[in-house]
Amino acid sequence: MTSLIDRSNLDFLLNRWLKVDELLTRPTFAMHDLAEVSAYLDLAEELAGDQFLTHYKLADQVEPKLTEEGVEVLPQIKQALEQFAEAGFFSAPFPEAYGGLQFPELVQAAGMSLFMAANLATSAYAMLTIANARLLVAHGSPAQTEAFARPQIEGRVLGTMCLSEPQAGSSLGDIRTRAEPDGDSAYGPQYRVTGNKMWISGGDQNISENIFHLVLAKIPQADGSLPEGTKGISLFIVPKLILSEDGSPGIRNDVDVAGINHKMGYRGTSNCLLNFGEGARFRPGGRAGAVGYLVGEPGAGLAIMFHMMNEARINVGLGAAAVACRAHLLSVTYSQERTQGRLERGGNPVPLIAHPDVRRMLLAQKCYAEGALSLILYAAHLVDECETAETDKERAEADLLLGLLTPAAKTWTSEWGLAANDIAIQIHGGYGYTRDFDVEQLYRDNRLNPIHEGTTGIQGIDFVGRKIQKDGGAALIALGKRVRSTCSSAAADERLRNHAADLETVWDSFVSLARSYQDVGRDVMLSNSTELLQAFGHMVVGWLWLDQALVASTANSPLQESKIACCDFYFQTEMPRVTNALRNLARQSSLPANVPLGVFGIQQ
């Protein structure tokens, strides 16, 4: 079977580094043991290879198409997701009370990484559905949870998130979708939703028996106008097919597909422009407007939606890491099989991997790909800590750290995972940019991730404007304790002590700089926020490499050699990027904000 992700590394991350066995001692997860975790990952690896990988290239060639009946996707996608559901992967992270398997988020993320490595586009349907259902379990009424979350947990219905609009993009305060009160229903206050939503992954398909859209909209004020800004946003469940009294799919709702977006990657995932309440064909009860049900309180929609958005951001990072890891394995294989060039005049041709520059690229690629996977799994472990740690203090600290790390977990992985995919093409040479080799498609798939679920720039603004300042910088203080603990332990190891000293120096410089940015003007903050987030992500991944090398140093094995070599390479070549970035950021330049438009040939 084709390797998707290095299982020896994945097992190390779960078992030796993040100590999943300790999670399994907690009451929430006590029904599982390490043998079940291993079997779960074995099954994920097998199913990913047999059902997801097998149509990876075909789904890229046969894109979703819009017909009179809706969007049709490749039949193999439906078959793969049915097998995914039957094996229990939709239900894996949910409590037993909802029909779930109640696995830790750490295990769920590790399993999902194998599916994403095999086929990112098909996995996207599952990822969105799981996140949709989890939001409803957390914030929906009992009736909503039973009617709308449970069918998704069972894998019978797929879900979406509908945020962006053609005229607003990521500026959610400017959305114009309206929700007019329409009485009560068995599923809570009923509304009629009208408006347009853009970039909706899985917005329509012929895979599942229904589709449950989570839609952000504004409830008009007394004078009929929409409230300004994000505080007036509410959240609604809008099904494609309105549920009958017994909960089964009934008549068609007023949700229509206005078009399909044709993307450079993720081509197997239908991506739609949806019209709510504008279709002459679909008028439930003879009235215009899609039937929707309010989730939570009016005006609380964006706060509730962040439950799904933050999960989706971490999952985008997981997909980026998984695709990068697969590209690395393909690069290693190709560099062993492809003979080219000689190391000395008159010598025999050698495999690519014999060339030092190719090994340099492979090392950089491995550091980026496996570093990205480490960061995401660390975030997944924090999710488990938030929910199951023994004390309120431990849970609160995990929540702080998760909030601080989420922008980096989404952004660093999608930017540097893409760099790993770029290297894969370079290693493959001319073959790398042909469609005969998977690395070309893997690059195109991963290129979407720096944009998905909030662009890199948006994440930078959130990080600098909110996350590092929250509670007086409490999250940075908490993370600093963990960084210093690693450095203290590594200082006792002759092979790692110099790295520990370097990391402490860089950490101190970063914290000092981050504090100085709390009082800068808006132009300075907006001009430097992305670079500050990138420096933070690069530094955090350096800490994770050092922490893993420290854990691996206790065993004499090939994995020990791998972890220490990657740690050495990262501190030699990548940590200087952080130092240089911090030196530049210390200038607090506002040049980008104030550069004359004439520089771009724009007449003022």
Could you read off the pLDDT of 344-396 as tens digits, one per residue?
Answer: 888 888 999 999 999 999 999 999 999 999 999 999 999 999 999 999 999 99
Which helix or strand (DSSP H or E) is residue 438 part of? Answer: helix 438-447
Predicted local distance difference test score (pLDDT) of residue 2: 65
Backbone torsions φ then ψ of 550, nearest 5 degrees: -65, -45
CA–CA gap between residue 397 and residue 385 (Å, rounded): 9
Beta-bridge partners for 532: none
Residue 269 near residue 202 (C-beta atoms within 8 A): yes
Three-class secondary structure of residue 241 per DSSP: strand
CA–CA gap between residue 519 and residue 505 (Å, rounded): 23
Angstrom distances, CA of residue 389 to CA of 61, 101, 385: 46, 19, 5
Token representation of residue 354: 């014999």
DSSP 360-374: HHHHHHHHHHHHHHH
CA–CA gap between residue 551 and residue 546 (Å, rounded): 9
Instruction: Break the chain down into helix, strand, coil percent, rounded to 5.
Output: 60, 10, 30
pLDDT digits (tens, 9 = 90+) for 514-550: 999 988 999 999 999 999 999 999 999 999 999 999 9
Predicted local distance difference test score (pLDDT) of residue 287: 79
Three-class secondary structure of residue 72 per DSSP: strand
CA–CA gap between residue 506 and residue 14 (Å, rounded): 28
Q: First and final CA of the chain: distance in angstroms? A: 60
Angstrom distances, CA of residue 320 to CA of 209, 562, 573: 29, 22, 22
524-546: string of b/e by CB count within 10 Å (b at 16+)?
bbbbbbbbbbbbbbbbbbbbbbb
> What is the residue extent of each domain of the chain?
7-153, 159-299, 455-594
Predicted local distance difference test score (pLDDT) of residue 33: 97
The Cβ of residue 139 has, within 10 Å, a number of other Cβ atoms equal to 19
- Listed as ranges, residues in the chain with pLDDT below 70 are 1-2, 279-282
Token representation of residue 156: 């019978």
Which fold is adopted by the domain 7-153? Butyryl-Coa Dehydrogenase, subunit A; domain 1 (1.10.540)
DSSP one-letter code for 599: G
Three-class secondary structure of residue 19 per DSSP: coil
Q: Which CATH number fits domain 159-299: 2.40.30.40, 1.10.3720.10, 3.90.230.10, 2.40.110.20?
A: 2.40.110.20
CA–CA gap between residue 30 and residue 46 (Å, rounded): 26
Angstrom distances, CA of residue 474 to CA of 31, 53, 67, 467, 504: 35, 43, 53, 10, 18
CA–CA gap between residue 220 and residue 182 (Å, rounded): 13
Predicted local distance difference test score (pLDDT) of residue 210: 97
How far out from the chain centre does Cα 174 lie? 25
Closest by Cα among 372, 407, 416, 377 to 111: 377
Token representation of residue 172: 């959610």
Residue 278 near residue 256 (C-beta atoms within 8 A): yes
Angstrom distances, CA of residue 175 to CA of 193, 218, 309: 13, 8, 17
CA–CA gap between residue 51 and residue 48 (Å, rounded): 6
Predicted local distance difference test score (pLDDT) of residue 294: 98
Residue 143 near residue 186 (C-beta atoms within 8 A): yes
Residue 309 near residue 453 (C-beta atoms within 8 A): yes
Residue 272 near residue 71 (C-beta atoms within 8 A): yes
The Cβ of residue 389 has, within 10 Å, a number of other Cβ atoms equal to 18
